[in-house]
Structure 1
Amino acid sequence: MASKEVTLNPGESEVVTFEVTPSEARAYQVAVNGLTGSFVAIPVVPELANIYGVVTFRETGAPLEGVKASADGRITYSNYNGAYRIENLTPRTYTMTLEKEGYETLWDTVKVVAGDNEINAEMTLVPAVIASLHGYIADSETGDATVSAEVTVVEHTGVMEANVYRTFSDTNGFYSLENMAFENRPIIVDISVEAGGYGLIKETNVGLAEGDNTLNFDMVWRGGPRDVPSFISYQLPDQIVSGEEFPVSMTVYLPYQDARMRAFLEVRLPKPGDPRFYTDMRWELLPDTLYDGLTDKADFIRFDSAGIHTLEATAKAICLHKYFHF
């Protein structure tokens, strides 16, 4: 309670002023020597603040629609003109953010005063992640190169939105997609491989690393019956002496004539008594003639290896036959 003492002589008057801070908005009583009065405390409504502005793309100056603008939980979105507005804020300091998918998020601490506060902003794209993908595509049964297979890499960036990259395998079955730009981290893509007569390969949610990536694919033939080259047999001598010629021979089945057909014989020769040391040899054996049916090829080969004098060929040789189309 506030009080003040005043002495007055007969016929005198004096204005008495009190400064009182009411605890709430209501009517208060005033008493002077038994005389009472009252006053009403009216709440003071502070002037509110508004934040508004325009968000544009820094590189072109074009307005950005759909930017999420927030000030301590109060959220709005920019319209097609890039304009946004947050109203009826208490004047104080706010943490403000601007967000849009694919763009760098902006945030700052801003002091907001009563009335309108203009805050414009320029946004930039999130730097793309660059990755490359390459590898070989082959027939799962014959190992032959699958030529002109279409490889498609898709990164989904939103509803009905995607980054798509395509290429085709060459005559060696090799494909390469260089410097693909991706928006998301980590890089998650769908990969499909298609070729005439072969079953579709489709792999989803494949993770790629930034930089170089290698993926090889084996395609399964679905085009109906076919006759493919096949390996029949090979022969090696019982002993192979370094520096001396020795005969090798092999028999293959070639169902069709193809001047690009090549046959290889690969033999792994271990050192006698110590299988930890061995030598791989690969010989290209071109048949004397190419025709429908069995083809025999014999040749003399010299094997030179320092430190290994004699090799046991029988039962130690491993034949890995392969047919290549170039």
Structure 2
Amino acid sequence: MAYTISAPPHKKERITFSSMNWSKIVALVPVSLIAIYFFGIPALEIILAAVIAAVLTEYGIQMIFKQNVTVKDGHAAMIGLMFALLTPPEAPIWLPVVGGFFAIAIGKHAFGGIGSYIFNPVLVSWVFVRSAWSGFMTPASIPHIGPVSDILLESGAGLLVGVSPIALIGGVYLIYKRYVEWRVPLTFFLTVFFFNQAIAFVTEIVQLVQEGVLNPLLYLATMFTFLELTEELSYAMIGVVIFGILFLSTDSPTTPITKAGRLIYGVGCGVLVSIYGYFGNYVDGTLYGIFLANGIASFLESRTIPGSFGQESLLERSYKRVVARLPPGLRSEVVSDD
């Protein structure tokens, strides 16, 4: 019998890698079923093609390199399903096959497999396929939440995942079950909401100044009205953004392990998505923004690791760097009585 040896304290958890993956798949079943209902048989074909391609690729690679076959843990199936949901229903059937293969072969195993990749395999594959076959991967429409009914069923959805934002509520259950850490999605959502408001405010102020309005602060009185807040919230409530917040940005290997790092990472995701989405569109902006944020996750992790007992904190080290750059006359020194 094998024993796992580690330093105390010990805390038993019933959370396993397999249970996390299958729980995420179950959480995505509602939006998948609604996509099939909304788009018909093409949506079902895309989902099956991507999932089967991802699972077979995982199985083939592990067999060829004589590794333990782990397709039962659901990770490959989850990756294939996520890629399928980011595909337009008009895409040819071979496209999700290529996407599922690329996500597993390059996005996952080329980087060393579980826990070793620095970019989410779903996003790696999406960026590749989006760049190689942009015509097939460009959605026919860009969703925008107007009436409340759009949250239940979005008729303007261009991707499978965009058909029903409320159907992605299973991601909240994942947070409750502690399969997903709450810091990243919370700070991500709040940043998207408030940063969009800030961008809109600055843009309006610049336009007022250019039009010769001498008192642009009059706009400030109406900027944060209920209607304005609702307008900005409507952009953050589309299916792709919710999917990115709850499922893509919370991928464990591509997020920092430290608490402070996850808070900063969530803010970083929100800022990148907001900038790209506000001046472009929130569909591509969400996916490209999270993909770029993956690249700084390891840096944030290394910078936010708590120091050992007696070691200077990050705030103390930062303070000393600032003081060291000040002129000698401005530095405050301790006067000794000796």
Structure number with the higher strand fraction is 1
Q: TM-score range by the shorter chain?
A: under 0.3
TM-score, normalisation: structure 2:
0.21
Larger RCO: Structure 1 or Structure 2 (Cα < 8 Å, ≥ 6 residues apart)?
2
Whose radius of gyration is greater, 1 or 2?
Answer: 1
